[in-house]
Amino acid sequence: MAPPSTSLSRIGHINSAGNDDALFLKQFGGEILTEFGRTNVFKERHFVRQISNGKSTQFPMVGSVGSAYHTPGDWIDGGAVPHAEMILTIDGLLISKLFIAQIDELMNHYDVRGPYATELGRELAKQYDFNVARMGVLAARTTVNALTGRAGGETIAVANMDISCTGWTRTRCPTPSGTNARLGSRWRGTRRP
């Protein structure tokens, strides 16, 4: 005699069919994105464009206008605003790879998913920030701007400025003109008597 057939209600099925765990929470990815968002520095500090389809996108560049004080009786003439476009291509998919065998996780006596998710999120945020900072440096080094009349990156050199500041303990020191120049937090000197 055959055993009786029993209908099961599996809470992970979609419409009572498919994988047993199809509807279960995918928490690990959310933990990684949470740590990425908490650790990331540059994402909120620059323009981000989402590209849903295609390999590149373009966006218009609109130049700036000048200003001046008007003298009564002088003719007010219009001015031209330069326009150009910027084309951005998609980078490859940034990933941080890790595999946890389910059997290893079941036999393990402590949680590894949380620390692994944290480290993966931190690594992705670090690499993302590195890429954004690198692009900022490359843009600053560019000598040609797509918009006519706008300068590209430049080097500002002040020949008569001496900010060696030997003898000062704070991050500010007097310059030859008597004003203060802000220095990086790594500089530390000793104050002269």
- Contact assessment for residue 43 and residue 50, using Cβ atoms and an 8 Å cutoff: no
Q: Are 148 and 164 found together in one domain?
A: no
Q: Are 108 and 169 found together in one domain?
A: no
Is residue 115 a part of any domain in this protein? yes
Q: Are 178 and 92 found together in one domain?
A: no
Q: Does residue 28 register a pLDDT over 80? A: no
Maximum separation of any 2 CA atoms in the chain, in Å: 110
Residues near 188 by Cβ (< 8 Å), separated by ≥ 6?
169
Is residue 192 a part of any domain in this protein? yes
Q: Are 163 and 152 found together in one domain?
A: no
Percent of the chain scoring above 90 in pLDDT: 9
The residue segments making up the domain with residue 168 are 157-193
Is residue 164 a part of any domain in this protein? yes
Q: Note the pLDDT tens digit of each residue in 71-110.
A: 999 999 888 888 888 888 888 888 888 877 778 777 888 8
Q: For residues 100, 102, 106 and 108, what is the CA-based torsion angle, rounded to 10 degrees?
A: -20
Helix, coil or strand: residue 89: strand
Q: Note the pLDDT tens digit of each residue in 139-169.
A: 777 777 777 777 776 665 665 555 555 554 4
Q: Are 23 and 92 found together in one domain?
A: yes
Residues 109-115 have a mean pLDDT of 82
Record the pTM: 0.56
Q: Are 97 and 113 found together in one domain?
A: yes
Q: Which range in 93-97, 141-145, 174-178, 182-186 is most confidently predicted, on average pLDDT?
A: 93-97
Is residue 184 a part of any domain in this protein? yes
Residue 57: both structure tokens together: 């996108």
2-37 in b/e form (b: 16+ CB < 10 A) is eeeeeeeeeeeeeeeeeeeeeeeeeeeeebbeebbe
Q: Does residue 184 register a pLDDT over 70? A: no
